[in-house]
Structure 1
Amino acid sequence: DQAPLLAVCLSVGLLLLVLLLLILTMCCLRRKKNKQDQYQELISTVPSVPAHSAPVIPVSQGFCARQVPVANISGCIESWYPVGSVLTGLYSMTPLNEVAAPPLGMATRLCFSVEYRHSSEQLVVSLLRLSNLLPRFHSNMTLVELRLLPDDRRPRQAKARGTGPDPEFNDCLIFQVSAVCVLRSTLSVCVLSVEKDGKRHAVGRALFPLEGELGQAGRVLWRDLDPEEVMQCSELGDVQISLSYSSSLQRLSLVVLGARGLQLLTDAGVCVQVCLQIHTQMVKTKRSCVVKGEQNPIFNYRMTFKLRPQHLDDACLRFELVFLPPHRLAVSFKPPALLGVLVLGPFMYARGLQLQHWMDMINKAQEPVRMWHGLGRNHLHKSKCV
């Protein structure tokens, strides 16, 4: 009788021991799982930093330091501080070695930026570098002369800090100009190549109207230079025009920037008359400001015309450079003398660069397109724009 009773007691004891071991094992596993969950919750608030991500900054409290991803900060735990997001464009100035490569092409290009400081009424022009300099200028020193037209005649100069096809400048030039005048001004750029004996060669020139270009301070700009070969004027002279078209506003905008190589015998005034023509009908005529007659006058005069999109293929602009003789009476019915004419428009009216300028204006919506055009002798005996 004692043997079965002993067997039953041993069985019950073993069963209780196994049950106790199971309970202890479950408690250990649960405690370990709770610790893992707490650890994962703690580190999950810290975003992981993948490879090739944004740089990190150290943030510390006491002797404890962490590395916080700049772009992914979201909370504050223990020694973490809520830094927030950083708008790098407001604080960074583009280093010279991080300037993006110039657009593809063979033209010599200038890399620069403009910024207007209202508190001090200063226009700051930062010259960065040139690109695609012609091979014959690689061994020479490169100079850049800047003028703020039409009032500032004293040039500011900057000398390149090296030679070769892409000389670097990294200089800042300052112009003192009021906020009212700066929007009506044009930045004139002249790039010169200086040999060892001091002889200078014109590499190229560019005119940069400041209207509409001062909204994004420090933005890196690339501008093509009119090369030395192109700077050879036509027989009657050249005129530089900027065109842009907005289909939503049904508005054709143009800027008469300047002229060069004019054949003037006196210093009387000159101006530009612009006629908007649809088929054979003269729709609207406008005239620029009158400037003192000189070989290279600067107008920088803006005009706008109302033009519907359906008329882009049958409308044109006729430019007439007009010479105003001295002491011309306002009551005189004699038309002013013409120095040259230019027509910009579609295939119906123009060819070559004149046609290309018009097509570029249509294809580049609301983006100003500037070009130099030679003046012609078409109907110089009388003026059709009156």
Structure 2
Amino acid sequence: MLLSSDQALLLSVGLSVGLVVLLLLTLILCYLRRKKKGQNQYQELLSTVPSLLSLPSLSSAPVILVSQGSWATLVPFPLNFLSSPSFQYISNPISMFSSGWYPVGTVLAGLYSVPTLNEVVAPPPGMSTRLCFSVEYRYSSEQLLVSLLRLGNLPPRFHGNVTLVELQLLPDDRRPRQAKARGTGPDPEFNDSFVFQVSGLCVSRSTLSVCVLSVQQDGKRRAVGRVLFPLVGELGQAGRVLWRDLETEEDTQCSELGNVLISLSYSSSLQRLSVVILRARGLQLLTDSGVCVQVSLQVHARVVKVKVSCVVKAESDPYFNHRMTFKLRPQHLDEACLRFELQQPSNVRSGQKPPDPLGVLVLGPFMYARGPQLQHWMDMFNSTQEPIKLWHRLNRAT
């Protein structure tokens, strides 16, 4: 029977669609068969390589023998590194198989070798307590990187305590950064890094302050010593290991004019600066007329207030325990300083002869003081309303 034109058109379209579908199925089957064949070949290739886990002298983690020159290093790698399909390179298999090793590949040992801390920064000989650290300034990001490594030759009385370190970048850094040692004993280790954001113009005028504290079992902190490290001229060889002696409390008690023990505290809410002159030692007396302390509060070059303590008996180690307070606004803490002058009043009552000075001391911010005098002022600022006591060396009056 003859088909109409419409029926013939539908039959031709159906046959065309069927042929296209059949062709697509044929292509998909060929692709799947080829992919399965490739996976079988890859599994057979891996099966021909002896497993590293079968070596009797190795631990559960596979290792690779890395050769550089005349020595070899064992570098551990995770298991999934060996089973990765992208890792198919084997270097010199004949020589390595004959020596009993089954290498996976060759890597640079220098990228994985980590030097031992004891070998690189072993404490130097001597009895002084020293701090090991490094500094590096990154001009592109304007960041100062400070790495704390370890302490060396810590005094025996601190061996059983926890050691803390507080870092500040003077004169602008008000918030100390803190690090805790990872052990006790004479040479506790830190291995901590800190980043200070400081511009390239200010970094050469800054000083790194490191205060080492020993925490006793009852929680009380005792100062071990301090390191003040001016950064000017020290950033040329970035990253080198530095050793610096700690300036301890005993070091501050060797002035030829004597020393004075002072306590400072500041209350920002009351805007009050409290000063307590506790005692002095090693004074070189000129007369037997007694000893007093004159304290002057200065803002820039202007003397704001002057107070004088009571006169005590003329002794080389007198006790004062005299307290005085000054009104000082918080915005003036970076502009003010305290000047202490130990005096012996004149025997002439007419007052024509000025008192005989025994020594002077200035406590204040970076504008006026350095060393322990600067650190004492910064500790007072950071420990609000908590008295901070410290011995200071007397200098000659100018």
TM-score of the superposition, structure 1-length normalised?
A: 0.43
The structure having more radius of gyration, on CA atoms, is 2
TM-score of the superposition, structure 2-length normalised?
A: 0.42
